[in-house]
Structure 1
Amino acid sequence: MPERLVTLNNVSVRFDGPPVIDGINLTVNRGDIVTIIGPNGAGKTTLIKSVLGLQRVSSGNIWLKPGVRIGYVPQHLVLQPTLPLSVRRFMMLTGEAGDRCQQALTRTGVGHLVDASIHHLSGGEKQRVLIARALARNPELLVLDEPAQGVDINGQAALYELIRSLRDELHCGVIMISHDLHLVMAATDQVICLNQHVCCSGRPEDISADPAFIETFGQQVAESLAVYHHHHNHQHNLHGDVVAGDADHRQHEGCSGHGAH
C-alpha cells in the first residue's frame, strides 16, 4: 500500500473575484513524481504554496502526513547583490550540519562550488544549489516550482534526470511545476493540467490525447508530445550532454544532448 504524503480535498483559493484555483483534488504518495502544467495564470504556484502552508485556502482542506519533511525549491531566488554570500554560507542558513550540506551539494553535482560566490553561479549551478538546499533536509516530499527556470535546454534535461534519480534514491514524493512540456514527459509519472481547475490528469503518454489538453495547449503541441515520449535509458552530465546509455536512444529525436527532451 503506497504511503500517502499529501492530499488536497476540493481545495479552492480566492482573492478578489473568480477563484485562482477551484475544486482541486490531488494525492501524492511516496515515490510519485507529479508534474503540474498549465498556461500562465493557471494557479500553479498558488496550488503549491497552499500545500506548503504559505497560502491559506478559501475552501476545502489539505492533509499532510504528520511530521512530513518537505524540501522546497522556489521559482526565483532573490538575494541582495551587495551582500557577499558563498555557497557554503548559503547552505548553512538551512540550519543543517555542515557535513550534511556538503553531501547534498556533492549529490547534486556542485560540491566543488562550496567556496564560490552564489552571485556568480550559472543558472544551472544555482538551481542545483537550490535543490541541494532542499535535499539537506532529507525530505520525504520535494516541492519544486519551475526547477529548470533560467537553465539552457541541455541543462534542463540533466536537471530533470537528477530529480528522477533523487526520487529513486530517497523514495520521496515530488510535486513539480514545469512549462517544459517535452522535457517533462520523460521525467514524470503523472501530469496534471491546471487552468484554475484540473482540466485533465494522467500518465504522460496518455495526456496528449485528452481533449482538454488539446484545447489548452493546441493540436500541434499535443501531436508533437504524442510522438516525443520515449523510454529514458541514458544519462547526462552537468551540462546536459549524453554520457551513458543506449546508443540508439542518443540518436533519437531530441536525445543527442543538443536538443530538448
Structure 2
Amino acid sequence: MTTLLEARDLVLAYQGKTVLRDVNLTLASGEIVTIVGPNGSGKSSLLRALIGALAPLRGAVTRKPGLRVGYVPQNLVIDPTLPLTVARFLGLPQRIGRSAVRTALQDAGVPDLGGQQMVSLSGGQFQRVLLARALLSDPELLILDEATQSLDQPGAASFYRQIEAVRARTGCAVLMVSHDLHVVMAASDRVLCLNGHICCEGTPEVVASAPEYRALFGTGTQGALALYRHQHQHGPECDHDHVHEAAE
C-alpha cells in the first residue's frame, strides 16, 4: 500500500489554546479510517491540519505529492428558488461531460438522479449527490466530515456500505470524521478515538471495548457493531422495522 499522508508529533492550537497534542497518524491507500470523539476533542482541527488548512503548532504533516482529495461535507445549503438539476450541479463551476456525471452518480449509488432538481432530493439522496461530486476528481483520498449527520441509522448504514463499495472499486483511502457511533465505526478498518490526544486506536471491536472509549461513550456501540454486521450480511433489502428491533 502507498502512504498518502503522515502526521508526526502533531500539536494543534486554536485561538491560542492547545486542542490536540502528540498525534501520530499514517494513512495508506485502500484504508477506511474513522476519527471519533466528543465535542471539542480536536476532530475538526485534525482534519483541517491533515488537508493543509491549519498549520500545526509543532510537528508536521507530510502528504504524497499531487495527492487528489475528494471532500464530502455534512451539508450544503442551496437556494430553494434556484432551478438546478443534479447534473448541472455536478458540472459547477466547470462543465463536466455527461459520461463523467453518469459514472459518478452510478458510483454513488444514485444513477437515475441526473435530471432531478437538487431541492427535491431527500436527505439521503442529497448526500449521495455530494459523494458523486467528490468522486468526479478520481480521489486517492476521500474525506467525509459528518456526512451522515442528517440521516437516520438505516440510511447512514446504507451510505457507509456505498463508501465501502467505492473503496473496493477504486482503491482510494477513506477518512471519516463523525459523531455517528451507531454504524460508522463498523464500516472502518481502523478507528482513532480523540479527546485532546489519541486516547485509543485499532479495529472497531478493539476501540469499542477499550476503557478509554467506554468512559467517553458508554457500551452501546458494541450492539451497534453487531447490528451493522447483521445489516451488511443481509444486504440493503433488510427492512427498517427489523433493523430497529435489532438495535433495541
User: Which residue is equivalent to 2:33?
Assistant: 34
Tell me: CA distance 1:260–1:157, structure 2 relative to 1, closer, same or farther (3 Å): farther
Q: Which amino acid aligns with 1:79?
A: I
Contact 2:68 2:140 in 1 (8 A): yes
Q: Does 1:210 align with 2:210?
A: yes
Report the AA paired with residue 63 of structure 1. T
Q: Contact between 2:118 and 2:126, CA under 8 Å: does it hold in 1?
A: yes
Q: CA deviation at 1:102?
A: 1.9
1:121 aligns with 2:121: yes
Mapped pair 1:242 → 2:244: no
Q: Tell me what 1:91 maps to.
A: 90
Does 1:11 find its partner at 2:33?
A: no
Task: State the Cα deviation string for residues 158-191 of structure 1 (Å, max 9, x = none).
Answer: 1010011111111111100122223123211101
TM-score (norm 2): 0.89
Q: How far apart are the structure 2 equivalents of 1:176 and 1:199?
A: 17
Alpha-carbon distance in structure 2 between the residues aligned to 1:112 and 1:42: 39
Q: 1:227/1:166 Cα in 2 relative to 1: closer, same or farther (>3 Å)?
A: closer
Query: 1:200/1:167 Cα in 2 relative to 1: closer, same or farther (>3 Å)?
Result: same
Give the conservation status (yes or no) of the 8 Å contact 2:183–2:225.
no
1:189-238 deviations in Å (ceiling 9; x for gaps) = 101001121111011111122121122113x33654576574743321xx
Q: Deviations over 1:84-130 (max 9, x none)?
A: 32211110016443321221112222222212221221110000000
Partner AA of 2:42 in structure 1:
G
Name the CA distance, whole Å, in 2 between partners of 1:118 and 1:105. Answer: 14
Change (3 A) 1:81 1:60: farther
Distance of aligned partners of 1:105 and 1:94 in 2 relative to their CA distance in 1, 3 Å threshold: farther
Q: Deviations over 1:61-87 (max 9, x none)?
A: 111111111111112212233333221
Question: Within 2, Cα distance between the matches of 1:226 and 1:107?
Answer: 25
Q: Which runs of 5+ in 1 are unaligned?
A: 244-253
Return closer, same or farther for 1:157/1:223 CA change in 2, 3 Å cut-off: closer
* In structure 2, C-alpha distance between the alignment counterparts of 1:82 and 1:69, rounded to whole Å: 33
Cα contact 2:36–2:193 (8 A) shared by 1: yes
| Structure 2 residue 190 is the aligned partner of structure 1 residue 190 | yes
Distance 1:198 1:260 in 2: 31
Gapped regions of structure 2 (runs ≥ 5)? none
> How far is the alpha carbon of 1:58 from its aligned partner?
2.2
Compare 199-208 and 209-218 and name the one that shifted more.
Answer: 209-218
Question: Aligned-residue CA RMSD in angstroms?
Answer: 2.3
- 1:181 & 1:97 partners in 2: Cα distance? 38
User: What amino acid does structure 2 have at the position aligned with 1:48?
Assistant: L
Q: Does the aligned pair in 2 maintain the 1:154–1:259 contact within 8 Å? A: no
Partner of 2:20 in structure 1?
Answer: 21
Q: 1:57 maps to which residue? A: 56
The one-letter code matched in structure 2 to 1:84 is: P
Check whether the contact 2:10–2:24 (CA below 8 A) recurs between aligned residues.
yes
| Structure 2 counterpart of 1:159, one-letter code | F
Q: Is the 8 A contact 2:34 2:177 kept in 1?
A: yes
Q: AA paired with 2:105? A: L
| Percent identity of equivalent pairs | 42
Cα distance in 2, alignment partners of residues 90 and 260 from structure 1: 38
